[in-house]
Structure 1
């Protein structure tokens, strides 16, 4: 559905509330008005309020049911009077960090309601009305089923359908592989223009850096930069980030977010980019060179820490892919699911030991033996608790895999605003204003560093692509 539907729904909700017999006699009257989204700038919520006594206090409560994103109360400026016309503003501008609001990606949905008090002691709370962040700079095309809604504005139907098909193939494979299920419909926005794409990234991203794909997990949104001529990149970057979304959602806020080794997380994402799996050529080149010259990385050192060196980072991805492939080929695909489930309540060493009979170092040596690399005698070491570290990530391979059958889409349409997708989780309580509502994961083509922030046991993973 389009934004006009959400506006109409908001008016219907408010009209119903205002005309309900039990509330018709309220001395405080509210005239609803449509909200307006200016992408990457602001969302405005205008309102007209009247009462027999002066309006003395009012604020807009914004919430995001079904997510862990923090809501906010916005107090608009007004002069106490019997009739007040004012506007509450949710700031989307990354440079106005002190203004009320915070980052929201295209596709993010929430509710808003007004709290109003007058001098006579009357109080009114309007019922929550829905809103959705839309990017109306482009005429979006749309392709969707019950799992994905893919939007793009440059390229023909085949362009969008290729990305759509690859995502459907990938989610089936990774869910089966690790025994997971992603419960929500994922909205994927494909931007063909670098400037437009950069403008909708969260404040944690370097605005001058090329970024290829970034999920915003809190809202089940993925942002992809790909012009039609860059399709081969999109059909690798999007599946890679989708795997991370499934992994992060399945691990939730529990122990698994800490104990899941980084090299395995990235190895799984790399392994399931293609069907059948294939390693990117430059990863393979670096891996072959490291094997030949005895320069392989110790896996344990990259359980929670990303390399600071560009080539080392590429090698980590190559090794992660190779070890995941080794587990599948030598132990069986079902072992991936068993390891993943064990990581939810065990350390990495305990998980590997229980499922494979060896810890991380033992697994590495089994893999080394298989590929013909020297066996290493490592001193006993406990993997440290994750701390803030610079990050970067992988890039796309050059040749897409052969097309695979995919779910039949419900519709291909050209429309101005993507349809809303209802969240499925239980509502979260409103909190203090947040400058970054929701965690996001990032992959870009450039090398750079972003902090990995931990909230309790939850890892807000930000990934860059080399």
Structure 2
């Protein structure tokens, strides 16, 4: 009797476990296709094959890196055909992201089914891209001949190798480099996702980098700067994953600028001028963001690469990678440096100013402490001033 009861219980459990799986596979998606106008619309076509008539259908899709899933109720033909167009008036889709989509179907028999997912890459299809590949690396361009493409591929390969050695990391996933011929074309692509760029842009989580380089006499210099810079952002992401955004901006941009094969000579001049005018930006102010005005942005980049190179030269690859990991683990600007170098960021900055910029170490430290000295001065001076200016007490007369 007990055996019979146990056997019956197993049958009930098996039915409960496997019944949903059969329901989930009850609807097939066949003959699907996606067509889109970059920045305009996306058209989905498919045929839903179901053993029971469909009473309600919702299409769902989500771009890589996005947390929100979009859903739209759609109609299908009696034959099960889907023809739905999503317009960007309903909200933009992240450029160059892989977009997964599926259908949530209610059948006449009451079953509700999520179909298997399909996907497409939402790349910029406004241009006749040419492509060259080397392992995981793909370079796309539309202006210039095949020699232009090979030069870009060579530069990308060299940049990846040099930065990979500096960070002790390698590329283990596909990477796409898109080369626009004008800054306007590049910015239009980024506008769709609400982003801006200064010559280039990287989406490290997507493994996508965008640069603006026109074919011509200056293409070699521009490739040497722009391509390795953006690829370095992606290689740094390989070390940190989704924690990449925790890294201070000065470190992210410092590593990327240090990767450039032709360093910008104006960086040294900008720093030299700032030292003369005592207008250097404290590194602590470059942790969360760069200044909004263009002149200060350029100085921020110049300081970031100089400071990062100083750290790399003094502490080596081990020190640089350890600093990256400390920040990725969530330590703030001061704490990350203190953990790795046993010195807070302000002291490491003083070392950099004294060693690389020729500043007096004491003067640099005094400049870092100036805000605190000013506050202390106010605390001490104000009571004294009030004491001297208050009316004197009248002496008692006898």
Q: Under TM normalisation by the shorter chain, which class is it?
A: 0.7 to 0.9
Displacement of 1:215 in angstroms is 1.6
The answer to whether the 8 A contact 1:267-1:324 is kept is yes
SS in 2 for 1:316: helix
Matched with 1:165 is 154
SS in 2 for 1:297: coil
Matched with 1:342 is 326
The answer to whether the 8 A contact 2:205-2:234 is kept is no
SS in 1 for 2:92: coil
Displacement of 1:180 in angstroms is 3.6
Matched with 1:265 is 252
Whole-Å separation in 2 of the counterparts to 1:29 and 1:239: 45
Which has more helix, going by share of residues? 2
Displacement of 1:362 in angstroms is 1.0
Displacement of 1:124 in angstroms is 4.7
Matched with 1:16 is none
Matched with 1:298 is 282
SS in 1 for 2:33: coil
SS in 2 for 1:121: coil
Q: TM-score, normalised by structure 2?
A: 0.74
Q: Does 1:72 align with 2:69?
A: yes
Does the C-alpha gap of structure 1 residues 381 and 242 become closer, same or farther in structure 2, counting only changes over 3 Å? farther
The answer to whether the 8 A contact 1:105-1:221 is kept is no
1:362 aligned to which of 336, 342, 347: 347
The answer to whether the 8 A contact 1:182-1:250 is kept is no
Whole-Å separation in 1 of the counterparts to 2:265 and 2:113: 63
Displacement of 1:151 in angstroms is 0.9
The answer to whether the 8 A contact 1:213-1:224 is kept is yes
The answer to whether the 8 A contact 1:140-1:152 is kept is yes
The answer to whether the 8 A contact 1:76-1:86 is kept is no
Q: CA RMSD in A?
A: 3.3
| Structure 2 unmatched runs, 5+ | 1-21, 373-398
SS in 1 for 2:369: coil
Provide the aligned length of Structure 1 versus Structure 2.
Answer: 342
| Structure 1 unmatched runs, 5+ | 1-21, 383-466
The answer to whether the 8 A contact 2:39-2:192 is kept is no
Q: TM-score, normalised by structure 1?
A: 0.64
2:200 aligned to which of 198, 203, 213: 213
1:87 aligned to which of 79, 83, 90: 83
Q: What pairs up with 1:437-452 in 2 under 5 angstroms?
A: none
The answer to whether the 8 A contact 2:155-2:224 is kept is yes
The answer to whether the 8 A contact 1:150-1:189 is kept is yes
The structure that has the greater radius of gyration is 2
1:282 aligned to which of 266, 280, 287: 266
Whole-Å separation in 2 of the counterparts to 1:43 and 1:50: 23
Whole-Å separation in 2 of the counterparts to 1:329 and 1:211: 27
Does the C-alpha gap of structure 1 residues 167 and 56 become closer, same or farther in structure 2, counting only changes over 3 Å? same
1:352 aligned to which of 306, 329, 337: 337
- 1:197-232 superposed Cα distances (whole Å, 9 cap, x missing partner): 3432244547xx875211223321122222212623
- 1:21-67 superposed Cα distances (whole Å, 9 cap, x missing partner): x99x96x6765242212222222112345778753211223355xx5
Matched with 2:164 is 175
Whole-Å separation in 1 of the counterparts to 2:346 and 2:115: 59
